[in-house]
Structure 1
Amino acid sequence: MDTLIPAEPTAAAPVRGLWRRPDFRLLIGGRLVSQVGDQLQFLALPLVVVALTGSATQAGLVLGAQTITYLVFGLVAGALADRWNRKATMIWCDLGRGLLTATIPIAAAADALTLPQLYAVAILNGLLGTLFGAANSSALPNIVGPAELPGALGAVGALANLVRIGGASVAGAAYALGRMVPFGVNAVSFLVSAVALRSIRSGFQQANPTASASPRQLLADIRDGLGWLWRRRVIRTLALLDAGDSLRFGAGYLLIVMLAQRLHANPAQVGLVFTGAGVGAFAGSLLAGRLARRFPLGKLSIAMLWIEALAFPFYALVPTWWLLLAVAFAESVVTPVYTVALDSYRLRVTPDDLRGRVTSAVDTLTTGAGAVGTMAAGASIALIGAPALTYALAGWLALLALAATLSRTVRAAR
């Protein structure tokens, strides 16, 4: 059973650098390996579905199954992360996902791979991944300490964006070696992550885990978490603004593709535009921890929203694809700064025994908004065109920025 080893430095124990903490290195190292494996599988899975069925629609449905699973299971996962032993939960989730992923190359070797199996693996991996994420977010403040949360979240984001930048090339090379290679690598990556988690000495929660709960008790837990979130005006207001921003973000992928095609960009150039966005997000993640510690949350949130609103129209105004890349880079720097500041504040002020529920509620809200934006983008582009949608989304961002500016709650947030 985990016991808490205090991570917050005291006057008698000078602050060590974040990267000098062995437990943080283990946590982020295991996460990095797992994210690389996930990136390989993310590219390979739709290709395997198309090879198996010849249907791009089925490929999209298999990929979308994990998002739908998150939306359905997210609140329950948060409640379980607050009740169960978080460290054991994360280890078992990694082992379960590794086993599920390994069934794909095993079935392929036996010439028994089917579409129902791919759906089952996607959905079950989505369930375990959602539970892992809830436990991971809840445990982080206990491993690094509240004072170093901005730096830790910035580092996590930076590594995720680093994988995003180079992941597609690595994934393509792995798939070229064999269709099942990415799945085998991903299965091993989950094992590496589980071993790294097992080696962490810090406690993952402040109180001993409680007993398993009945469905009625879980519903009561979820209600308590939502009630606590609703009563915290700063978190509630900023979460709603973040969800509004996620609506725009969800529409962004298809919108940028269509705008790049209007500029006669070839597929390689479109890929470079998204690489530029990834580099921008990486740079923003590196800056995020320092900015979150230096500036009040409210002022930082307002500034970031206005920068997004003012930058977004340039997606439709630039005359060449390489200027589109420059806009994507600049606009992508902003999001990690805002996200790290908001997440640091929320994790710091939320009681440890509520972190899973509160984090899952906010993430479910923003993920759902992003999914709505993604689904609405295609119809909106067909109806009014990509440039008009760009200006409409810029107006939406300006409304969010104005609402934040006029909100006394946001302006006073520190």
Structure 2
Amino acid sequence: MTAAPPVPPPVPLSRNRDYRLLWGGQALSEFGFHSALIAFPLLVLALTGSGAASGLVMGTIAAAQMVAGLPAGVLVDRYDRKAIMLGCEAAQAVSAISLVAAVWAGAATVWHMVAVAAVFGASAALFEPAESASLPALVADEHLPTAVAMNTARASMGQLAGTATGGFLFAVGRFVPFLVDAVTHTLSFVVLLFVRLPRRERPTGGAGPLGREALAGLRWVWRERRIRVTVVCAVVLNLFFSAYYLVVIVLAESRGVPSGEVGVMAAMLGVGGVLGALVAPVLHRRLGAYGGIIAVFWALAVLAPVTVLMDSGYLIGVLFALIALFPPTANTAIMTEQLLRTPDELRGRLTSTLVLACGAASAAGPALGGSLAQALPGDRALLLCSAGMAAAAVLATLSPTLRTLSRRHESGRPATAG
């Protein structure tokens, strides 16, 4: 009986052509998206002078993402994921070009911008689960943590660079940020055409109503204990950090911190996020899934109350950078565990559920922080946020479910959808 030939080692990410193409195309796309995002309120204010109209346009992006979230997961699981990603890039490019033409001709209206914002939000809601669900098909299991971390770094860099550049581009010309957005989405579309994504088998049992399939995905996420606990961890982290961030801004304003230093604080948060994403693969290998998740809880619990002692926006910015180092490691641990434990036919709904839940937490966090800052002195509001983080850290540390996260299925494959 002849021995089976040895299985060749998986291709490393540095030589994984398809992953590099997808990553590079999305780096362009996210830069353009954030350049346009920061220019949207500037354009509305320049044309109408109305803060309410500006809020309507910006709120439409978030609302479209929320409304399209769960149906997007079903569509990603039902149809060809590459085709969905291509459609999202094309839709954003065409809508941005339409806005460029309208601004150039002096015919831009608020409702046109609302329509473009809705396309942007719905496209983001579709693209993110399609890309995340495709990752296990593009990279080997052992390279998935690094791929997730690199995607996080890409998003942080795109947000930093796009936000910093968008205002300058708007100063050059009101239509310029949207022209850059159209060009970057077009380039990303072309690059995506050359990504070879393995063909998936069509889900068995036929396609049911979107609502029923979306609920089936939610029920599966809730039934799977490890998946459910990691989703709860992500929601709690987003809720507490969003509340803490707003309380710190209010506290800094009350102490007379100049607006320029407040801007530095926000920028340092982004810098810490980028650095954290770059070191996340190393920390994930050393700490494991359980260690990576509880590390971010304890970093927030220990570092957040230190803000009470600081009156300098620069020092708070350094603290923000330190806090931001750990969330990418937790994100890497959570996403890797979830993708490997979820059947392929449910990965789109998994990601859309996580995005929707975290988006709701990120929206509720500032409301919570604002209520605390209104009801209590700044120092007490911040300490109360810190106490909540400490309680969450203790519960995460003691969780028997989180301790089991590093255990893989014996077969090396995720559980079935049954």
Q: TM-score, normalised by structure 1?
A: 0.92
Q: Which amino acid aligns with 1:195?
A: V
Task: Look up the match of 2:105.
Answer: 110
Matched, 1:125 2:120: yes
1:206 equivalent to 2:228? Answer no
Unaligned runs of 5+ in 1: 1-9
Counterpart of 2:271? 279
Q: Is the 8 A contact 1:404 1:411 kept in 2?
A: no
CA distance in 2 between counterparts of 1:391 and 1:339 reads 25
Matching residue within 343, 365, 373 for 2:365: 373
Counterpart contact for 1:260–1:324, Cα < 8 Å: no
Residue deviations 1:110-169, cap 9 Å, x none? 221111111111112211221111211111111112221111111111122223333333
Runs of 4+ in 1 over 4 A off after TM superposition: 209-213
Deviations 1:202-225 (A, max 9, x none): 32x532478994xx5222221221
Which of residues 87, 90, 96 in structure 1 aligns to 2:85? Answer: 90
Quote the residue 1:314 is aligned against: 306
1:72 and 2:59 are equivalent in the alignment: no
The verdict on how the C-alpha distance between 1:168 and 1:89 changes in structure 2, with shifts beyond 3 A counting, is closer
Tell me the TM-score normalised to structure 2 length.
0.91
Q: Structure 2: where are the runs of 5+ without partners?
A: 407-418
State the 1:379 CA deviation: 3.4
Which AA in structure 2 matches 1:280?
A: G
Query: What is the aligned counterpart of 1:170 among 165, 168, 173?
Result: 165
CA distance in 2, matches of 1:314, 1:11: 54
The amino acid across from 1:126 in the alignment is G
> Does the alignment pair 1:334 with 2:309?
no
The 1:132–1:163 alpha-carbon spacing in structure 2 relative to 1, beyond 3 Å, is closer
Moved more, 329-338 or 138-147: 138-147
* C-alpha contact 2:82 2:197 (8 A) present in aligned 1: no
- Deviation string, structure 1 residues 13-44 (Cα, Å, up to 9, x no partner): 23333121111111011100011101111110
Partner-residue secondary structure (3-state), 2:384: helix
Amino acid corresponding to residue 45 of structure 1 in structure 2: F
Confirm or deny: 8 A CA contact 1:300 1:338 kept in the other structure.
Answer: yes
- Is the 1:83–1:211 Cα contact (8 Å) retained in structure 2? no
1:20, 1:116 → 2: CA distance?
46
Q: Does structure 2 retain, via aligned residues, the 8 Å contact 1:84–1:210?
A: no
Task: Identify the match of residue 247 of structure 1 among 239, 243, 248.
Answer: 239
Partner of 2:343: 351
Q: Match for 2:200: what amino acid? A: Q
- Answering whether residue 37 of structure 2 is matched by residue 42 of structure 1, we say yes
Determine the C-alpha separation between the residues in 1 that align with 2:36 and 2:206: 33
The 3-state SS of whatever aligns with 1:313 is helix
Structure 1 partner of 2:135:
140
2:209 matched to which residue of 1?
Answer: 217
Q: Which residue does 1:397 correspond to in 2?
A: 389
Q: Partner residue of 1:193?
A: 188
> Given residue 206 of structure 1, which amino acid in structure 2 is its aligned partner?
R
Looking at structure 2, the residues matched to 346 and 54 of structure 1 have their Cα atoms a distance apart, in angstroms, of 45
Which region of structure 1 is more displaced relative to structure 2, 88-97 or 246-255?
Answer: 246-255
- Cα distance change on mapping 1:264 and 1:174 into 2, 3 Å: same
Q: Whole-Å Cα distance in 1 between the matches of residues 368 and 107 of structure 2?
A: 37
Structure 1 pair 254–61 and aligned structure 2 pair: CA distance change class (3 A)? farther
TM superposition shift of 1:369: 1.0
Amino acid at match of 2:65: Y
Task: Kindly state the Cα deviation for residue 271 of structure 1 after the two structures are TM-superposed.
Answer: 1.6
- 1:327 and 1:348, CA in 2 relative to 1: closer, same or farther beyond 3 A? same
**Equivalent residues of 1:74, 1:361 under 8 A apart:** yes
Q: Partner letter of residue 344 of structure 1? A: T
Q: Measure the CA separation in 2 of the matches of 1:184 and 1:256.
A: 36
Which one is further off, 347-356 or 166-175? 166-175
Q: Distance in 2 between matches of 1:250 and 1:184?
A: 32
Partners of 1:42 and 1:94 lie apart in 2 by 16
Aligned partners of 2:72 and 2:125 also within 8 Å: yes
Return closer, same or farther for 1:410/1:211 CA change in 2, 3 Å cut-off.
closer
Aligned residues: 402
The answer for the alignment partner of 1:267 in structure 2 is: 259
The aligned residue for residue 4 of structure 1 is none
